[in-house]
């Protein structure tokens, strides 16, 4: 039997308010993906990437939402999507973590996380979300972080 996970989102930032590391660095704010109460950003923080949702231009945010709601495939990754990206520019050429996203009736599956620029599989997931919870969480990321 598959364990169903709960997906939530919340505004977050790359650095805590008093973190001296933020001096001279961009303190990107974004929509953190919280899976069963645990931050995906924190789980993968060692890679110095941030979630791709909730920040950047409105056009980019809407595109990412379309991808994660499986309304269209990524232009060259197809049904893999950049889930964590460069915290400075969001550009995939800087390196990113991708995830395979599938939907089986009313369940969305995130699996096969890969640190792309190293083609390195990551030992995380799979995660299973009920569509209604998933759709609400992903749509709620629009405008959650900085623009």
Please state the pTM of the whole predicted model. Answer: 0.88
Cα separation, 93 vs 111, whole angstroms: 22
pLDDT of the chain, 147 residues: tens digit per residue: 679 999 999 999 876 665 555 555 666 889 999 999 999 999 999 998 999 999 988 999 999 999 999 999 888 888 899 999 988 888 888 899 999 999 999 999 999 999 998 899 999 999 999 999 999 999 999 987 764
Contacts of 116-124 with CB under 8 Å at 24 or more apart are 116/82, 116/92, 122/44, 122/97, 124/43, 124/44
């Amino acid at each position: 039997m598959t364990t169903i996970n709960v997906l939530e989102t919340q505004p977050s930032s790359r650095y805590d308010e008093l973190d001296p590391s933020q001096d001279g660095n961009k303190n990107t704010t974004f929509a953190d993906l919280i899976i069963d109460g645990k931050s995906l950003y924190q789980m993968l923080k060692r890679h110095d990437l941030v979630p791709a949702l909730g920040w950047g231009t409105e056009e980019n945010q809407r595109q990412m939402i379309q991808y994660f709601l499986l309304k269209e495939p990524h232009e060259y990754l197809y049904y893999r999507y950049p889930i964590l990206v460069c915290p400075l520019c969001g550009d995939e050429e800087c390196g990113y973590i991708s995830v395979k996203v599938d939907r089986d009736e009313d369940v969305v599956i995130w699996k096969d996380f890969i640190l792309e620029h190293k083609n390195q599989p990551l030992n995380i997931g799979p995660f299973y979300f009920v569509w209604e919870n998933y759709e609400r969480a992903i749509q709620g990321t629009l405008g959650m972080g900085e623009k």
